[in-house]
Amino acid sequence: MRVDLFDFELPPERIALRPAAPRDSARLLCVEGEALSDHLVRDLPTLLRPGDLLVFNDTRVIPAQLEGRRGAARIGATLHKREDARSWHAFVRNAKRVSSGDRIDFGAGVTALAGDKAEDGSILLAFEGDEPVELLLERAGRMPLPPYIAGKRAADGRDLADYQTMFAREKGAVAAPTAALHFTPELIEALEARGIGHEMLTLHVGAGTFLPVKADDTDDHRMHSEWGRIDARVADRLNQVRSAGGRVIAVGTTVLRLLESAADEHGRIRPFEGDTAIFITPGYRFRAIDGLVTNFHLPRSTLFMLVSALMGRETMQAAYAHAIAAGYRFYSYGDASLLLPRDQKSVG
């Protein structure tokens, strides 16, 4: 499909630079079939049904933004995917000044040797020393805010808490699973009182999630890969919920992508551990999920293509036009949507 079919105009003032406070006071646009209705995130218990199950990503964002030097050259690096215990693939600013074998000094006693450039333009960085890389990053790294926020303001102390979900546990992400930023213990308690449960999986979100689609046609776009895991117990419970007539609602596109990667052709979710590079565009047949809670995404992005695949491109263009006109806040710190496709329960 042509990428320009997924374009839309977004006024810059609609980009949120800080999250709503409290978190569950963010606005929520419910798209059910083609019908639109305006709510708050804390209204979710009344919008879902007893027996439904929300699935969250428990990944934790690490301080993956580094600033350093290679000789006199200033080098910036954003880690995006772990290769092994000491090596990470990174998108590097001023990469033309870095060659394989160069040592980059990130300060605070943190150095890394550069490897070869990959097809996606990233460079493999091998961190030196014996300390765990996580400790090195705590010393030298910064919270990696998305480029559309970082371009307007610097990360600060508030972001250390604001850019982590209440479920954050497994260290390894370089971007937050932002749909879950809206959830609070009080909201989870209200959902449980309504008979709506929740489960966890892990997908370490990479910086590739922010890469623009440069191709003119979706067939020519190469999707980034990310590592994820679904435990057997979680897979079993999700299958049981659907067998009993409940709906599995993914909280965030990271959760949706991992569940769809783990589902067989009959919609049964299998235990999973490994990389996924699934690219979902209109025409895709969803097998593992019945709905999605997600924020508002960038024009021409793989994530807007994903929600268009779930709900229909025209429906999502109309929903986004409504959100813009109604003053919804967009992107990572913005408001949310609840997407409930018509007849999705028949899938699988």
**Residue 171 belongs to a domain with what CATH number?**
3.40.1780.10
Tell me, what amino acid is at 116?
D
The angle that helices 313-325 and 302-311 make with each other, rounded to 10 degrees, is: 110
CA 83 to chain centre: 20
pLDDT score at 224 = 82
| Length of the chain in terms of residues written | 348
Q: What is the pLDDT of residues 112-144, one digit of tens each?
A: 999 988 887 899 999 999 999 999 999 999 999
Mean pLDDT of 301-323: 97
Q: Are residues 99 and 15 in the same domain?
A: no
pLDDT score at 214 = 86
Q: How confident is the model at residue 347 (pLDDT cuts 50, 70, 90)?
A: very low
- Quick one: 169 exposed, middle or buried, by C-beta within 10 A (0-12, 13-18, 19+)? exposed
Q: Are strands 123-127 and 111-117 parallel, antiparallel or unpaired?
A: antiparallel
Q: Which two tokens stand for residue 79?
A: 């880690």
- pTM of the complete model: 0.93
Alpha-carbon span 324 to 314, nearest angstrom: 15
Q: Are residues 212 and 269 in the same domain?
A: yes
Q: What is the average pLDDT score of the chain?
A: 94
* pLDDT of 345 strictly over 50: no
Domain that holds residue 241: 3-61+161-346
- Of the chain, the percentage scoring pLDDT greater than 70 comes to 98
Q: How confident is the model at residue 346 (pLDDT cuts 50, 70, 90)?
A: very low
pLDDT score at 121 = 83
- Of the chain, the percentage scoring pLDDT greater than 90 comes to 88
Q: Are residues 223 and 260 in the same domain?
A: yes
Mean pLDDT of 12-40: 97
pLDDT score at 343 = 66
Is residue 151 assigned to a domain?
Answer: no
Alpha-carbon span 183 to 297, nearest angstrom: 19
Is residue 273 assigned to a domain?
Answer: yes
Domain count, the chain: 2
User: Among the three residues 113, 141, 169, which one is the final residue of a domain in this structure?
Assistant: 141
Q: Are residues 179 and 194 in the same domain?
A: yes
Is residue 308 assigned to a domain?
Answer: yes
Between 57 and 206, name the one with better pLDDT: 57
Q: What is the pLDDT of residues 207-232, one digit of tens each?
A: 777 677 888 998 988 888 899 999 99
**209 within 8 A of 61, measured Cβ to Cβ:** no
Q: What is the pLDDT of residues 254-305, one digit of tens each?
A: 999 999 999 999 999 999 999 999 999 999 999 999 999 999 999 999 999 9
Q: Which two tokens stand for residue 36?
A: 């639109």
Is residue 153 assigned to a domain?
Answer: no
What lies within 8 Å, CB to CB, of 320 at 6+ separation is 8, 296, 304
Q: Are residues 220 and 126 in the same domain?
A: no
Mean pLDDT of 241-249: 98
Q: How many CB atoms lie within 10 A of CB 106?
A: 22
